[in-house]
Structure 1
Amino acid sequence: MRQSAGLLLYRKTGPEVEFFLIHPGGPLFVKKDLGVWSVPKGEFENDEEPLHAAIREFEEEVGTKIDGDFIELQPIIQKGGKKVLCWAIEGDLDPETLKSNTFEMQWPPKSGKMQSFVEVDRGDWFVYEKAILAIKDRQIPLLDQLVTLLA
């Protein structure tokens, strides 16, 4: 089974909890918004410690090193069958500072032309009501778990 590891960054602003989510880069997601946002995450090899992979992926996709008290959440299974291991961590960052790594893909399709795209084109903070609309539906349980733990 393919596995990903990720971090759910959150902050408390008064009574509200806000979640930091990322929007996938590349040409396939340019016109998509609701339902495609995600926690920063990525695949890892079986010999890599999942939490270390989650920290590495966050840094690659957001451009910020993160450390602190990680809260392990229950894994979820995405639509494609991939298992996602996730940890929540309290923190803050300015979405304007986001700097993602890049990937290459053939674009336009069947053109034979390789182009480079950012893996993540933007990130933002969402209150729960907006986060559940923005995030991939299979990742909503990650938000719910954190809300329950913080209550």
Structure 2
Amino acid sequence: MKTATSAGLLLYRDRNGLEVLLAHPGGPYWRKKDEGSWTVPKGEVLAGEDLYKAAFREFVEETGFHPRGAVTPLGSVRQAGGKRVHVWAVEDDWNPETLVSNTFSMEWPPRSGRIQAFPEIDRAEWFDIATAHRKILKGQAELLNRLELLRQAE
């Protein structure tokens, strides 16, 4: 059963300016989509689960990476479909070429009777903040603004 709440981690680093790690959703519906389709690695919060623990678990499941950097809460946003997304910023570095994502199964092509497995995320990339604003889902863009404000206050 799907929940209207998810949690995730937004990795960031400073390499001649702020960069963030975004994930591209896997599966056939997202294959040809780019700008406005990238996301913070996130996923479903299980009943009774601590939000940060869910965010960490989902990040690891979707990337194969265990972040160890400083953690800062960015609060939550509501996406267009109504889902509430709780996010923490984590300062860390990671090579997205080592991505190992969990998978999901669905009937594809539709009405074919064939069940196929697809990665939750098919790739992840580092983006400078201006590019990230173009790539990220509209409902998550506020998270980038919050991260920028926090970094300016440091």
Same fold judged by TM-score > 0.5?
yes
Quote the residue 1:82 is aligned against. Answer: 83
Quote the residue 1:92 is aligned against. Answer: 93
CA RMSD, 1 decimal? 1.0
Quote the residue 2:8 is aligned against. Answer: 6
State the shift of 1:93 in Å: 0.5
Secondary structure of 1:59 counterpart: helix
State the shift of 1:115 in Å: 0.4
After superposition, give the CA deviation of every residue in 1:62-94 in whole Å (9 maximum; x if it has no partner): 111123321011210000001010000100011
Q: Report % sequence identity.
A: 49
- Partners of 1:91 and 1:41 in 2: how far apart? 17
Indicate if the aligned counterparts of 2:68 and 2:92 stay in contact, CA closer than 8 A.
no
Q: Equivalences for 1:37-48 in 2 at 5 Å?
A: 37-48=38-49
2:69 partner letter: G
1:4 partner letter: S
Deviates more, 1:140-149 or 1:42-51: 42-51
1:111 partner letter: S
2:5 partner letter: Q
- Partners of 1:42 and 1:117 in 2: how far apart? 15
After superposition, give the CA deviation of every residue in 1:18-72 in whole Å (9 maximum; x if it has no partner): 0000000011111111111000000112300000000000001111112332101
Quote the residue 1:64 is aligned against. Answer: 65
- Partners of 1:18 and 1:69 in 2: how far apart? 15
Any runs of at least 4 consecutive aligned residues in structure 1 with deviations exceeding 6 A, and if so which?
none
Unpaired runs of 5+ residues, structure 2, are: none
Residues 1:107 and 2:108 are matched in the alignment: yes
Task: Using structure 2 for the length normalisation, give the TM-score.
Answer: 0.95
* Count of residue pairs the alignment pairs up: 150
Task: Using structure 1 for the length normalisation, give the TM-score.
Answer: 0.96
1:68 partner letter: G
